[in-house]
Amino acid sequence: MKTILITGCSSGFGLETAKHFLANNWKVIATMRTPDTSQFPSSDRLTILPLDVTSEHSIEQVIEQAGPIDVLVNNAGIGMLGPVEGTPMAIARTVFETNTIGTMAMTKAVIPQFRERRAGLIINVTSSVTLKSLPLLAIYTGSKAAINAFTESLALELAQFNIRVRLVLPGRSPTTRFGENAQARMQQGFNKHYASFLQGVFDQWQQDEVVTHTDDVVQAIWQVANEQDTPMRIAAGADAKALIHAAD
């Protein structure tokens, strides 16, 4: 039986991915900043552990408590929509600490056990915004594009140890808590000179009918975890797939 550790399992893609692997007989280590068992079925294959990916101490503890794992999914992430001019640098740092450094730190923490066993898979969840640039997402896009580049370089040095590293790029998914969780940061980044431009972006989004569903992301992660020969980048969701095909 294989073991998967997933970050950011309190909601959205992480929660549904954890439930899917659990329902399909994997051992699941669902991590979240504030552990909450209420959203999961009870199972002796499920372990819920606290993890804040911005804390090295928290990462050390989770790796120790988790024991050996086969697959790491770096899913935890935060959003930020707003003009660079209005965004306090503290927010930019928080976005990079979580999405970029947090992913790198979790990745680094599992490499020793994967190298020793000559086996292991790391799946990094980035975003389709890295395939086609959108306005007001410069900081968020930067944080995720850095992980695309990090992952593709790292894969080259870890292949010798039979460790696979892959990317899943979801499109826009309005049904998770992502937008709601970004609200406070967006309000801090508000700048009146961009107000009508911001409204135009929101209006455009309301008209977009092609979006990503949580299950698209779950299935993409499932595919990477269960098939050996998947491409480096897998788009999840119809909108993301259209972008990745256009980039081919």
Ligand X SMILES: NC(=O)c1ccc[n+]([C@@H]2O[C@H](COP(=O)([O-])OP(=O)(O)OC[C@H]3O[C@@H](n4cnc5c(N)ncnc54)[C@H](OP(=O)(O)O)[C@@H]3O)[C@@H](O)[C@H]2O)c1
Single out the segment in contact with ligand X by CB under 6 A; choices: 50-58, 64-72, 157-165, 224-232. Answer: 50-58
> Is position 91 an interface residue for ligand X (rule: CB under 6 A)?
no
| Sequential DSSP letters for 50-84 | E--TT-HHHHHHHHHHH-S-SEEEE-------S-G
Quote the least distance from Cβ 193 to ligand X, whole Å: 26
Give me the residues paired with residue 46 across strands.
Answer: 28
Main-chain phi, psi angles of 42, to 5 degrees: -75, 140
Q: Is 140 a catalytic residue?
A: yes
Interacting residue with ligand X among 22, 30, 32, 147 (CB under 6 A): 32
* Cα angle 129, 76, 22; round to 5: 115
Quote the least distance from Cβ 18 to ligand X, whole Å: 10
Interacting residue with ligand X among 4, 13, 48, 92 (CB under 6 A): 13
> Is position 10 an interface residue for ligand X (rule: CB under 6 A)?
yes
118 contact partners, CB below 8 Å, separation of at least 6: 161, 162
Q: How far apart are CA 156 and CA 165, in angstroms?
A: 9
Single out the segment in contact with ligand X by CB under 6 A; choices: 20-28, 39-47, 170-178, 226-234. Answer: 170-178
> Is position 123 an interface residue for ligand X (rule: CB under 6 A)?
no
Interacting residue with ligand X among 18, 53, 104, 121 (CB under 6 A): 53
Burial of 224 (0-12, 13-18, 19+ CB in 10 A): buried
> Is position 168 an interface residue for ligand X (rule: CB under 6 A)?
no
Q: Are 53 and 99 in contact (CB under 8 A)?
A: no
In this structure, the strands spanning 46-50 and 27-32 are: parallel
> Is position 130 an interface residue for ligand X (rule: CB under 6 A)?
no
Catalytic choice (13, 21, 26, 140)? 140
* Residues with catalytic function: 140
Residues that bind ligand X (CB under 6 A): 7-14, 32-34, 51-54, 75-78, 98, 102, 125, 127, 170, 172-173, 176-178, 181
